[in-house]
């Protein structure tokens, strides 16, 4: 039997790990094996966390403070006197109006304690997440958090500087020096309370880790993990593409990461996935007659061989991805491919919706307008998601939501562009969140933009997208805007998701992270 060097697969994040609480199943045990099991005061409960379960805290507001609630503690835990530390935690808040404590060894301001991580509420002059070291050396995030949204918070101290990270990004830093303050008796660790100010937490925490060293930004990015989080034993190996690889009872157990599942993140109505061959009906020439949604019973079909798109596997497609290829020779006229589904399948999708597509559009001449998916054949136009020669946009009842014109990108010129992930969340106030993730350099009116993500908000120019109430004769089409062939797509489509309603920022980010990982973007 071949020998396996297990050391290669042990996460560096285990180095100097002082305590780690997964916060699952009301046990509150320390996964680091250092035995800092938490004591539950006033009935902290379990609820859904960023990974499995988390801890739910019920701070009660009284005036300008949360003056009662519950918390977790351990009397033996102690970071006092350390020369370097790191803290990592996921938080989801029910209220952001008052100060709240996440965790720390702290007893209020003044000669208060060695460290504290918490929230300054919107009733303060500068709201945001805050990290305090040695009494009043504090840094505050520029992000003022929203309720019901998961945030990854990390704070570090390396002996000369404190840093605060939100969702993997450095938010603030401050130069200080020395070891963490010591007290007699020492300050007790409190999670969800700061022991004198009140500041009980009203929200959820999950995956709390503490180290006696300063983590690098790369390690903090690993903990954030594109918004998906990381749990003990904190291993993220690209070599084996595994979540966990640990030795147990003399054997190597390998746990592969779960496949991306967009279902729990919202009211998913359409899920078209070119990786799932069971959803694609094709002939011996790979001409596709049906692409079925993985949720519900929606099918996109084509009976005319000359209009059928072609299934291409990762080994045969130009983008090296499983996809459906739509081979239009012109945006208007010429030959084209399309799939359609009756409008009756989409009456349950309301006036707010969230759409994602992983696709590529190629240039087929002036005024290239490549339709990914849309319900546009009729008057008034309903909606469609397009990649065009001039911009990416979502068209509404009688006007366009032009994402490009509301961003620093300018207009996106799709002349043989790379594969992109585009997401749009339509909100009830007439605005929309627009996201683009590119696998390669994009050519735009404001210049060339390297591979990466571009995330911004825009305004729907002429009111909400009309998802519901489409005319009974208006089919939903993929690859073309009209049954007779117009605004046709030349390019590949890998995946399409349509949610009823506006996804929260947290759910939006998780879909983006899942699609990026799945398609290698």
Kindly list the structural domains of the chain, giving each domain's residue range(s) and its CATH number in brackets, ordered by start. Answer: 6-255 (2.60.120.200), 271-519 (2.60.120)
Give the pLDDT confidence of 352-372 residue by residue, as tens digits: 778 888 888 776 666 566 778
What strand order describes the sheet that includes 369-375?
280-282, 288-292, 299-301, 339-341, 476-478, 369-375, 383-388, 392-395, 400-402
Give the pLDDT confidence of 21-45 residue by residue, as tens digits: 999 888 899 998 789 999 999 999 9
Average pLDDT of every residue of the chain: 78
Give the pLDDT confidence of 385-432 residue by residue, as tens digits: 444 333 333 333 333 333 333 333 333 444 455 677 777 777 776 666
Establish how many alpha carbons lie within 13 A of residue 153's alpha carbon, considering only the half-sphere containing its beta carbon: 31
**Model-level pTM greater than 0.75?**
no
Give the pLDDT confidence of 140-159 residue by residue, as tens digits: 998 878 898 999 999 999 99
Beta bridge partners of 494: none
Q: The tokens 């694609």 sit on which residue?
A: 280
Return the closest-CA partner of residue 219 out of 154, 130, 143.
Answer: 154
Return the closest-CA partner of residue 455 out of 521, 407, 411, 499.
Answer: 407
Within 8 A by CB and 6+ apart from 182, the residues are 80, 81, 114
Cα torsion 496, 501, 502, 503: sign = negative
Is-cis flag, bond preceding 7, omega within 30? Answer: no
Lowest-confidence pick of 2-6, 103-107, 327-331: 2-6
**In this structure, what token pair is assigned to residue 75?**
């009397």
Q: Distance between CA atoms of 321 and 274, rounded to whole angstroms?
A: 9
| Predicted confidence band of residue 457 (pLDDT cuts 50, 70, 90) | low
Cα torsion 170, 171, 176, 182: sign = negative
Give the pLDDT confidence of 254-275 residue by residue, as tens digits: 444 456 788 878 889 999 999 9
């Amino acid at each position: 039997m071949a020998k396996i060097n297990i050391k290669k697969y042990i996460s560096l994040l285990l180095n100097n790990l002082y305590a780690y609480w997964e916060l699952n199943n009301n046990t509150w045990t320390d996964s680091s094996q250092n035995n800092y099991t938490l004591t539950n005061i006033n009935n902290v409960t379990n609820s859904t966390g960023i990974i499995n379960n988390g801890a739910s805290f019920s701070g009660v507001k009284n005036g300008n403070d949360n003056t009662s609630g519950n918390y977790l503690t351990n009397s033996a835990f102690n970071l006092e006197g350390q020369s370097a530390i790191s803290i990592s935690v996921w938080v989801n808040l029910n209220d952001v109006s008052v100060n709240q404590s996440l965790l720390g060894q702290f007893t209020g301001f003044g000669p208060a304690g060695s460290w504290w991580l918490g929230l300054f509420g919107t009733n303060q002059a500068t709201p945001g997440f805050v990290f305090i070291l040695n009494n009043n050396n504090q840094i505050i995030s520029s992000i003022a958090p929203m309720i019901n949204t998961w945030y990854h918070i990390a704070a570090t101290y390396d002996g000369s500087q404190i840093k605060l990270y939100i969702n993997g990004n450095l938010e603030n830093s401050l130069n200080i020096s020395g070891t963490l303050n010591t007290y007699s008796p020492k300050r007790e660790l409190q999670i969800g309370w700061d022991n004198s100010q009140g500041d009980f937490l009203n929200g959820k925490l999950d995956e709390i880790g503490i180290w006696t060293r300063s983590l690098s930004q790369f390690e903090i990015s690993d903990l954030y993990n594109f918004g998906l989080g990381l749990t003990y034993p904190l291993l993220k190996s690209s070599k084996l593409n595994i979540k966990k690889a640990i030795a147990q009872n003399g054997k190597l157990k390998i746990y592969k990461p779960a496949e991306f599942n967009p279902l729990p993140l919202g009211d998913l109505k359409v899920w078209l996935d070119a990786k799932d061959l069971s959803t694609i009906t094709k002939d011996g020439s790979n001409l596709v007659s049906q692409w079925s949604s993985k949720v519900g019973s929606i099918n996109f079909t084509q009976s005319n061989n000359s209009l059928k798109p072609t299934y291409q596997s990762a080994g045969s497609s130009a983008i090296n991805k499983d996809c459906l290829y739509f081979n239009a020779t012109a945006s208007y006229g010429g030959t084209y491919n399309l799939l359609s589904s009756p409008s009756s399948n989409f009456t349950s999708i309301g006036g707010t919706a969230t759409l994602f597509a992983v696709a590529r559009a190629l240039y087929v001449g002036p005024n290239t307008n490549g339709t990914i998916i849309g319900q546009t054949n009729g008057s008034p136009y309903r909606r469609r998601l397009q990649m065009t020669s001039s911009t990416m946009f979502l068209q509404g009842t009688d006007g366009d939501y032009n994402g490009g014109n509301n961003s620093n990108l300018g207009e996106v010129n799709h002349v043989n562009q790379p594969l992109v992930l585009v997401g749009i969340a339509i909100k009830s106030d007439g605005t929309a969140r627009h996201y683009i993730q590119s696998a390669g350099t994009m050519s735009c009116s404001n210049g060339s933009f390297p591979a990466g993500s571009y995330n911004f908000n825009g305004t729907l120019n002429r009111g909400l997208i009309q998802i519901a109430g489409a005319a009974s004769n208006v089919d939903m089409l993929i690859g073309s805007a009209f049954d007779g062939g117009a605004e046709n797509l030349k390019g590949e489509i890998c995946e399409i998701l349509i949610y009823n309603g506006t996804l929260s920022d947290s759910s939006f980010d998780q879909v983006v992270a899942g699609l990026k990982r799945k398609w290698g973007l």
